[in-house]
Amino acid sequence: MNNDQLVSDFWADFLPIFRYVLFGIIIAAAIVMIITTLMQSNDSSKSLDAFTGASQESYYSQNKGASRDSILKRITIAMGIIIFICVILFFVTELFIGVE
């Protein structure tokens, strides 16, 4: 048994398991993303402010960094990035193992 066969055996065993793990991460991140998106408040007045020129400045609107909606927004963005990276890795690994 030469070294090339050991490496190919490792990849043949590792990549399918890695793909299952990636798929699980994608599913979990998608569920978290759906939940955090649904938990965010629907603030439709902001979209109308661009047309009317009206704006409401308050302490709450100036300090959005620590608010519940900003945390949910950050979580949603993070889950989107995780899903994007995992999907890219998932399909790149398919190039190495081929269609089963």
What is the rounded distance in angstroms from the CA atom of residue 28 to the CA atom of residue 52? 40
Q: How many angstroms from the chain centroid is the CA of residue 88? A: 12
Which tens digit of pLDDT belongs to each residue from 82-93? 999 999 999 998
Q: What is the pTM of this model?
A: 0.71
Instruction: State residue 93's pLDDT score.
Output: 86
Which tens digit of pLDDT belongs to each residue from 10-61? 777 888 899 999 999 999 999 999 999 999 887 665 555 556 655 666 655 5
15's tokens: 């990549």
Structural domain boundaries of the chain? 25-39+58-100
Ramachandran area for residue 99 (φ above 0: left; ψ -120 to 50: alpha; else beta) = beta
